[in-house]
Amino acid sequence: MSATAMQEPVRTYYQEPLTQSQPGTHSPSDFNSPNQAQQPLMPSTNPYDNLDAPRNSDWLEKTQRSNKRSKFLVIGAVLTLAVLIAVGVSVGVVLSKKNSNNDTSSSGGSASPTSTGIPTGTNPNDPSNFPKNPALKQSFYGIAYTPLGSQLPDCGSSLTEVIEDIQLLSQLTTSIRLYGADCNQSSLVLAAIQATQVNMGVYLGNYPAVDDNGTAYERQRGEIQTALQTYGASNVLGVTVGNEFILDYITEAGQTDPNGSAGQQAAAMLIPWIQDTRSMLASLNLGKTLPVGNADAGSYFNTQVLEAVDYGMSNVHPWFANQSITDAAAWTASFFQTTNADFAATLPNNPKMYIAETGWPTNTSQFNYNPNDGVSLASVPNLQIFIDTFVCQGECSNQNGTGYFFFEYCDEPWKATTYGGVEGYWGLFDSNKNFKNLTIPTCSI
């Protein structure tokens, strides 16, 4: 599962945990810091110029395989937002109405009267001056984020929209993770962080496809390089190469073992991209060494890939493991510790492990509905229970030092249309950026 400009459906599969005595062997089963703002590296030209110009992307390659990789028609008719943000002077952004991707009416939980999302009253000449929502609390370690409108064929994300998102996200967390770099995501997010002047770090992402001979990787590598050259690395926490790449590759090969023959073939593709990303980052002389990592489904990390990275990010979803809501938080902590953290600690490089995705859906659509999904309801009250038992309590809470990225920022209607089921309804906000009827517990990050 992923939350990206091209997001895989929620289909994280789980297997029996890896053991220290048998690394890389599995028995299949049915389941599936605060960052202080630094002086940015300022480019010689206006860094915000042309950020809202549409960029084409091949992000949907992975999810349109079932349609025989039908040819994309790249539509380049997106209205260009006039953005005049000069370096060293005030930032001028006029908040506009929601992106066309948000036109789908929100579902999956009503918003409380005090929880309207968009920060109305923002100074149009200074996005760093925005009112705070008292319903939001900076209690989450991190949040998985994908700008709405980051899908083909439009690539319709705008700086205005992303600034709104960062204003809201900064009231919940100091860390976010992206999944890919298509549709200008990296530059938009870094520009928005600098424009709002919030305390926010971001893991940039490169989401390569398993079947295009590295085309998607190379394209996104260039996007990441451009973003870092333009905005510097002061707000960048790392670069993640690959999201569920091993899972996708071995699933297409009809296998289940990430260290089997298909897993080794996938690793032979992925590891050179990881090494190439390190070389690219070193060549930029950023003033600090950015870690390079990989994300995959909880049971699908290839051992050689983990040995090649500085960190791993594991997708762990109790909903798809058919856990009850009362057991969900404890199961997530146990699965992650046993399957991922303990095993990584046995490797020579001891990569730092994070939970890349975890959460609870709030609704389901009839399209592609799976009646066997979930022993507890997909609902806002159950999301509230998961937040209460995961974020500030339990074995995986902030107090116990587990780094996690809550899935996810807001509902994504395109996934409900494309995949059905619960796919589009994992957000803390609905698709119109209204905060759902939730109460965020208070605890330090």
415 vs 68, residue with greater confidence: 415
Angle between helices 215-231 and 185-196 (to 10 degrees): 20
State the chain's mean pLDDT as an integer.
Answer: 79
Instruction: Please tell me the distance from the alpha carbon of residue 140 to that of residue 268, in angstroms, as a whole number.
Output: 35
Residue predicted with more confidence, 5 or 47: 47
Q: In the chain, where are the structural domains located?
A: 59-418
Q: Cβ(294)–Cβ(203) under 8 Å? A: no
How distant, in Å, are the alpha carbons of 20, 146, 149, 232 from that of 203?
Answer: 29, 12, 20, 13
% helix, strand, coil for the chain, step of 5: 30, 10, 60
pLDDT at 374: 65
Q: Say whether domain 59-418 belongs to CATH 3.20.20.
A: yes
Candidate from 2-16, 243-257, 379-393, 411-425 with smallest mean pLDDT: 2-16
pLDDT beyond 80 at 25: no
Tokens 């593709």 label which residue? Answer: 269
What are the Cα distances from residue 5, in Å, to 80, 95, 174, 207? 19, 22, 21, 9
pLDDT at 191 exceeding the cut of 50:
yes
Chain segment 337-366, per-residue pLDDT in tens: 999 999 999 999 999 999 999 999 999 887
85, 48 Cβ separation under 8 angstroms: yes
Residue 392 confidence (pLDDT)? 87
What does pTM read for this prediction? 0.78
User: Range with the lowest mean pLDDT among 57-71, 118-132, 308-322?
Assistant: 57-71
For residues 26 and 210, the model is more confident at: 210
pLDDT tier at 42, thresholds 50, 70, 90:
very low
In degrees, rounded to 5, the angle at the alpha carbon of residue 175 between the alpha carbons of residues 81 and 86 is: 35
Residue 108, pLDDT score: 42
Average pLDDT over residues 382-396: 87
CA distances from 205 to 52, 239, 343, 398 (A): 20, 6, 24, 24
pLDDT score at 365: 82
